[in-house]
Amino acid sequence: MHHFFVKPEQIEGRLVRITGPDVNHGRQVLRLKEGENLLISDGAGRDYVCAVKALEKDCITAGILREDEENRELPAAITLYQGLPKQDKMELIIQKAVELGAARIVPVATEYAVVKLDGRREEAKLKRWQAIAENGARQSKRSRIPQVGEVRTFKDALLEGGKAGLCLFAYEHEEGMAGTKRELAKVRAGQEIALFVGPEGGFSQAEVKMAREAGFAPISLGKRILRTETAGLALLSVLMLKLEMCSEGCTDGGEDGSIFR
Ligand code: SAH
């Protein structure tokens, strides 16, 4: 079943009107036929199974058959605060983070980030990154379109991320897995989780100090140094599987609601 995102205002009663570039995509690329079923999401968490009613030049009209109750979102809202990486790596990170269920990706201008974005370049990049998130959401049949936030300073990212129920700060010089185990044991369904990953150069001493002072407990991801694009995705993968199992009630988590033991 092909998947489309529409804005809530494109849904009127039992009819959905697909407009814009999606029309051409549906007609020319997917070669949709009348009567064919589609999965249509309003981007805010509601999904509908629909049937194509009419294929016009500027509009594809579909009738809602039923609301799709199967929730395709992870039961925790994860934000990846990613130190700005070099070249096009952010694109890969966004694409994969969306597949792995992240709710939001926020680029962070850390001390050792080599890439500096000025106003105009940032605007163009953000547009491109948001489009990648949308495509990823469609491809992986998400119910919500993850948001790519504006570039934050490290300080602002800490302030914002600090409001999450849990903050996992990946620090390559942290030794041992005891801290990782302790922090992961705090993961619960229904939580907001912030993940911090440094750029290629890692976090500076000053940044790690700030993070500690803000109450974050840096964690290790093991004895190997992962590339910046690998680190966030590795953490997300672990959280994704645990949260998925938790939503099916088959984790070995503790009775206190923790999903890691
Ligand atoms: N330049 C650094 C490596 C930075 S890796 C060095 O050579 O030492 C980029 C980011 O990925 C880090 O800032 C950290 O957030 C994360 N990362 C990579 N490997 C990690 C590990 N083993 N444990 C925790 N975080 C890690």
| Residue 260 maps to a domain | no
Asked whether 143 lines ligand 1 (CB < 6 A), one says: no
Domain presence at residue 242: yes
Same domain, 97 and 163: yes
Q: What is the CATH number of the domain that holds 231?
A: 3.40.1280.10
- Pick out the chain residues at pLDDT < 50: none
Instruction: State which residues form the domain around 6.
Output: 2-68
Instruction: Please count the structural domains in the chain.
Output: 2
- Residue that finishes a domain, picked among 48, 68, 88: 68
What are the tokens at 260?
Answer: 């890691």
Which domain-ending residue is among 68, 88, 113? 68
CATH number at residue 25: 2.40.240.20
* Nearest residue to 126 via CA among 141, 109, 147: 147
Per-residue pLDDT of 124-142, as tens digits, reads 999 999 999 999 999 999 9
| Residues near 9 by beta carbon (within 8 Å), at least 6 away in sequence | none
Ligand 1 center to 185 CA (angstroms): 22
* pLDDT tens digit sequence for 81-104: 999 999 899 999 999 999 999 999
Radius of gyration of the chain (CA): 20
Indicate if ligand 1 lies below 6 Å from the C-beta of 170: yes
Identity of the residue numbered 191? Q
Q: What is the DSSP letter of 174?
A: -
**Greatest Cα pair distance in the chain:** 61
Distance CA 245, CA 77 (A): 16
Domain check: are 32 and 99 in the same one?
Answer: no
- Rounded Cα distance, 73 and 235, in Å: 17
Domain edge (last residue) among 68, 90, 117: 68
